[in-house]
Structure 1
Amino acid sequence: MTDTTGAPDAESAPPPVPLLIIDGANVVGSVPDGWWRDRRAAAARLRDRLVPYARSGVAGLSGPVELVLVVEGAARGVASVPGVHVDEAPGSGDDRIVELTAAAGDRPCLVVTADRELRRRVTGLGAEVTGPRAVRG
């Protein structure tokens, strides 16, 4: 159905695609598997493990979702793959995650991190938060 201007009614518009933002450094660092020896390779392994979540979502956010993996520092240089957009933070990964959360507007947004300060910052913007276990294995 359309309104008098010819634009679709809000009721008939599809719901916005939820946004799932992954704090790459925090999730990688949550498992002591030697990630510190090669941060870029650890970020690439995480990226590859995240692909199925783009379709299925995670507990608290059903899929499909737009999935963004935020990397910083030595983890930069990891390419995006279908289903996972890798966002290279120009500075602080936490600051970039806050920017992405703020830009999400009214769409459902879930941030995966265990960082207490980051959790406070993004929930203040309306995002939900879950811990790294949501995307392990």
Structure 2
Amino acid sequence: MRQVIVVDAANVIGSRPDGWWRDRPGAARRLLLKLAALQQQLPETSIIVILEGAARRALDGDPLDLGPLQVVLAPASGDDTITEVTAESLTPTTPPAVTVVTADRGLRHRVEPLGATTTGPNWLWTQLDSL
């Protein structure tokens, strides 16, 4: 069974007090590189990362080799974009299992009725730290 993981990058980055607020694009770049490595370990899974605000600049400058990792730049609200991406992922006749990684309760209440499951950033950090 195919799986899709939708990552609320702002929420995941913000869950670790490692100084990310001093360089949001840099923190997003580091997360993207880690997620690209995870994506390579999970060929049956599509990881979609949503970047919003200053984190969208993570793709500026030197190009990143992200392989099949999908990055979506939110034009405005990250939560709206995450909800849209989640809904689109669930539209096929036989939809994949979709998990949204966020600790945002409001966002959880928006995506769970669509058929997605949710998990917190700690689950994702555990996966990334084990690489």
TM bracket, shorter-chain basis? 0.7 to 0.9
- Aligned partner of 1:49 in structure 2 is 34
- Aligned partner of 1:85 in structure 2 is 70
The answer (yes or no) to whether the contact 1:26–1:115 under 8 Å persists in 2 is: yes
Partners of 1:121 and 1:41 in 2: CA distance = 29
- Aligned partner of 1:67 in structure 2 is 47
- Aligned partner of 1:124 in structure 2 is 113
The answer (yes or no) to whether the contact 1:78–1:86 under 8 Å persists in 2 is: no
Q: TM-score normalized by structure 2?
A: 0.82
1:76 aligns with 2:65: no
The answer (yes or no) to whether the contact 1:55–1:65 under 8 Å persists in 2 is: no
RMSD: 1.5
Structure with greater contact order relative to length (CA < 8 Å, sep ≥ 6)? 2
Aligned-residue sequence identity (percent) comes to 44
Q: Which runs of 5+ in 1 are unaligned?
A: 1-14, 58-62
Partners of 2:24 and 2:72 in 1: CA distance = 15
Q: TM-score normalized by structure 1?
A: 0.79
Partners of 2:8 and 2:123 in 1: CA distance = 12
- Aligned partner of 1:22 in structure 2 is 7
- Aligned partner of 2:81 in structure 1 is 96
Q: Tell which structure's C-alpha radius of gyration is larger.
A: 1
Secondary structure of the residue aligned to 1:32 is: coil
Partners of 2:44 and 2:103 in 1: CA distance = 23
Q: Which runs of 5+ in 2 are unaligned?
A: none
Greater fraction of residues in helix: 2
**1:48 to partner: Cα distance:** 1.1
- Aligned partner of 2:123 in structure 1 is 134
The answer (yes or no) to whether the contact 1:56–1:64 under 8 Å persists in 2 is: no
